[in-house]
Structure 1
């Protein structure tokens, strides 16, 4: 018995057709506005504007010293923004969704979003090289191009993308509203938690929110690629099934008679009779010929009694009416 996910997909009832979202004008406008906001944050930090001053004020305020009773709880809460644990939790849920909906789209959307997240956020982190609050060297400095990797906040962007995927894949407007509220609350809390424990500047968190939202807004552009990838995976599965089925020997059920091969002429005549051709009296003769070819009678060389209806050659006794050979005379 097959236990892979494809076997389970085949046994489930067909779900209603799910329509993938397209890049509408409203979504495109949101993407453009978020991108402009993203670039404005980067520019404000590069020129050491008022945003950098606010970063230093929050850092010197040291929230973890102002409210130390929250530290133990927030150390666990910030895990909701770590890529590894959150990806596993969301992948388990979306795997169940794939099983129920007969589609790999939820898992492919998650993989696409995480790939975009790693490429875009990772490239900006390494390119700008900003140092974190714990490693700052000069008060009031933006700490850019110093070998760091905290701008934008990866925890915050990952929380926006990972939990926002649930709202993106929701199939009803009500579920989409609820999941959007949950993902926004979680990502907001994760971002502020990193500021509380002092691992990120406030501007890191703001840019992380924008970076994650850009990925969610851009996903409809990748829906055609996701659909082609899903179709290709299912095509590969079907070809693999065909090859595995062709190489498996077919076993006849126990107790079934073994097939008997008929001569080509007899098989052709039987097919013609099945189609309605031939004289009515030919069926019996053909049946006799088929039985004769199917179950041949094996005769012994010298049968004691020849069974009736057989064509076995009998020992030679001469032709009828011929004189029998003379027997030798005995006696005097």
Structure 2
């Protein structure tokens, strides 16, 4: 009895990939809706409130010092080794390589550069905004604090906001932003939120960031994700320009098609014609090349049967001529008998 082989989960995944179209017929590009604008405004207000609370050394700074003196890495040392590896999910280099590899495969599969260009635009915005805030406010970290209870601002530090946290929000959140279905977008949004939350709390556990640094890092990363629809037209123009440049380079590498030289005005050449007229000449312009294609012989007239055709002796026949031979179709003349 013949039985069919049961497909494994990996076989079903590859079978689904084989049915995937090369380029999606419709790419759902997020737009800057009213709901997104409200979220962006609320996140920007939260960002401003965190900065102001730290600048004026409010209750948030006192909470930072209390968490620092609590020393979570000494309270729970058994998870220290695991969190040393988990915090790598917020480092810019490893996470950018992993996400770029996945988005590069999607770009190759769907024949579009939008996933990679969107990731590049998000990381560029992250470096500009977070980097400027870090060096502009110059806050020192918990391990380098000088005065207890101080906000440690403008002392040449570079930890406010938390780069690990903001990078985790942007790098893993871009997967949800580029998801092709609403269900995948919801799941990826939840996963990226949990991952970035864990990365931020891990930096507080390790003592490398204040709690307020993590709060500002979450807000900074979320602002970039919410602002990406404003840059979608620029991303589309960049993709079109790159594809046009690729097409021009491909066309320039192709073999050029030979074109006839331009006809010179008033330049004529005398060329003899093969005819019976002596010294017959025709005028041809310079630069016009003769066609190397074999001549086409056309029928001289209407079709005639074989019996109706007139026999023609070929010119220049090599058969020797016999004066005594009588041509076919004529009656030979018999000599008259003398009498």
TM-score if structure 2 supplies the norm length?
0.72
Which secondary structure state, in structure 2, belongs to the residue aligned with residue 117 of structure 1? helix
Q: Is 2:75 the counterpart of 1:66?
A: yes
Q: Return the alpha-carbon distance in structure 2 between the equivalents of residues 133 and 264 of structure 1.
A: 86
Cα gap change, 1:310 to 1:14, in 2 (>3 Å) = farther
CA deviation map 1:85-106 (0-9, x unaligned): 0000000000111112110000
Q: Which residue pairs with 1:29 in the alignment? A: 38
Unaligned runs of 5+ in 2: 1-20, 259-288, 304-312, 319-339
**What is the RMSD of the two structures over their aligned residues, measured on CA atoms?**
2.6
Deviations 1:57-76 (A, max 9, x none): 00000000000001000000
Q: Is there any run of 5+ residues in structure 1 with no aligned partner, and where? A: 1-11, 250-261, 274-279, 285-306, 313-332
Q: 1:244 to 1:67 in 2, by over 3 A?
A: same
Count of residue pairs brought into register by the alignment: 259
Q: State the match for 2:131 in structure 1.
A: 122
- Distance in 1 (alpha carbons) for counterparts of 2:35 and 2:70: 40
Distance 1:110 1:311, change over 3 A: farther
Q: Select the residue among 188, 191, 194 that pairs with 1:185.
A: 194
Pick from 216, 235, 245 the counterpart of residue 236 of structure 1: 245
Distance in 2 (CA, whole Å) between partners of 1:309 and 1:188 is 101
Which residue does the alignment assign to 1:281?
300
Equivalent position to 2:95, from 86, 94, 108: 86
Task: Find the aligned partners of 1:136 and 1:310 in 2 and give their Cα distance.
Answer: 115
Shift of residue 167 of structure 1? 0.2
Determine which structure has the larger helix proportion and give its number: 1
CA distance in 2, matches of 1:150, 1:311: 105
Query: How do 1:118-267 residues align onto structure 2 when only pairs under 5 Å count?
Result: 118-246=127-255, 263=290
Find the aligned partners of 1:57 and 1:265 in 2 and give their Cα distance: 93
Give SS of 2:254's match.
helix
Do 2:23 and 2:112's aligned partners in 1 also have CA atoms closer than 8 Å?
Answer: no
Q: CA deviation at 1:53?
A: 0.3
In 2, are the aligned partners of 1:15 and 1:100 still within 8 Å (CA)?
no
3-state DSSP of counterpart to 1:17: coil
- Runs of 4+ in structure 1 deviating by more than 3 angstroms, as ranges, are 262-267, 307-312
Q: Compared with structure 1, are the counterparts of its residues 99 and 47 closer, same or farther at alpha carbon in structure 2 (3 Å cutoff)?
A: same
Deviation by residue 1:243-298 (Cα, 9 ceiling, x = unmatched): 1112599xxxxxxxxxxxx956998x959x7xxxxxx62699xxxxxxxxxxxxxx
